[in-house]
Amino acid sequence: MGSYLQAYLHMDMIKGEIKDLMNIAGDYLNHLQLQLNMLSLGHMSPSLISPGNLRVLLTDIKRRLPATLKIPGDEIIDIWNFYKCLTCSTVLDENRIIIIITLPLLDIRDSYAIYKIHNLPVPTKVTDKNSDSSDMVAQYELEAVVIAANQEKTKYMLLSNQEIDRCSNPLVNFCEIKSPVYPVNLSKLCVIALFANKENWKTRCTVKVRPNTVLPMATYLTDSMWAVTTINEFRITIRCDDQTSMLTDQIINPPTTIINLKLTCTATSDHLTLLPTYQMENETEILNLVDDFSRLPLTESRNYRINSTRQRLIIDFPIRLSPRLHFRKIFVRTEDGSVLQKLLPIETVKIIIPSRLC
């Protein structure tokens, strides 16, 4: 009887170990599926390489670079920005999957700022003896709408449409430009003469006149900023869809007046209407944060543990599976009613949050 019980317990232990191995295999397959999905997008993701490993990789690359090159950001402070800009490709080599990461490098010898050119028209009125008066506008014939110039404004580049699109990405503060670099002092272009405020700009620029133009006219600049061109003074009414709903008037003086509209504000007149810009926000107050975490389904799994008291909350859960089920930990706790975030070494990440958010 004793030998049978011993054999039964041994078989039961083996069965439990087999179940654990099958669970581990299932978790690995799910993680592999997630990695393959990320690889198909061609974009770097924390599921492909952890922040700690990426930081080590960037630090090693940084040490090997020549003195004239640098990586686009700090490998510690800006680690999450690297995930936004890095791309990757996949190469199959027998039974291995090789991931190639494309890391852009910046030349520290010179940096260029991107300038968008707004060619605003100037109104004029010409009266012909044989016809009625006609509204006309005059504009410069410019060679480019976007240029790049260094900080000293001694060198410039004319960007192509593809380069303009690449340099318009709001997620990164750098872009690849293959256009040639020209010296400003030798340029004969009108746009560069105006940009550098050269004295000989009149000999470089040609004016184009457009007759029978509908005035007033408005040009959108940026961030709800408009340039209104008119030949006659008129009044425009600004109404905002906020709590006050107040009406304000602004005089539009010739030839050009700049209008800065706030969010939800519309500018209306008999001649034209400037449409509003909206930015919707929503605030949610979370009450009893600790109790809500305690009721999460994670407490039902033996691989997770939640300990909560009135003053602190600790949640342990695995970041990455290992064959021996060794888990790293993330601690979430409340302290002093303030929100603090501190990135520690990859073995431990601590996030401190209050018990009430408002």
**In the chain, where are the structural domains located?**
2-107, 110-213, 215-280, 289-352
The bridge status of strand 265-268 relative to strand 273-274 is antiparallel
**156-185 b/e (C-beta count within 10 Å ≥ 16 → b):** bbbbeeebbeebeeeeeebbebeeeeeebe
Contact criterion met (CB below 8 Å) for 220 and 277: no
Other CB atoms within a 10 A radius of the CB of residue 276 amount to 17
Per-residue pLDDT of the chain (358 residues; tens, 9 = 90+): 567 677 777 777 888 888 888 888 777 777 777 767 777 777 788 877 888 888 998 999 999 999 899 998 888 888 888 888 888 887 777 777 788 888 888 888 888 999 998 888 888 766 555 555 567 888 899 999 899 999 899 999 999 989 998 888 877 888 888 899 999 999 999 999 999 888 888 888 888 888 888 888 898 888 888 999 998 899 999 998 877 777 888 999 988 999 998 888 899 999 999 988 877 666 666 555 445 444 444 433 434 344 444 444 444 444 443 333 333 333 444 445 444 443 333 333 333 333 333 3
> What's the predicted TM-score (pTM) here?
0.61
For CA atoms 152, 158, 163, 166, the dihedral sign is positive
* The residue type at 237: T
215-280: CATH topology is: Immunoglobulin-like (2.60.40)
Give, in order, the Cα–Cα distances in Å from 31 to each of 91, 172, 328: 19, 29, 16
The answer to whether the beta carbons of residues 139 and 145 sit under 8 Å apart is no
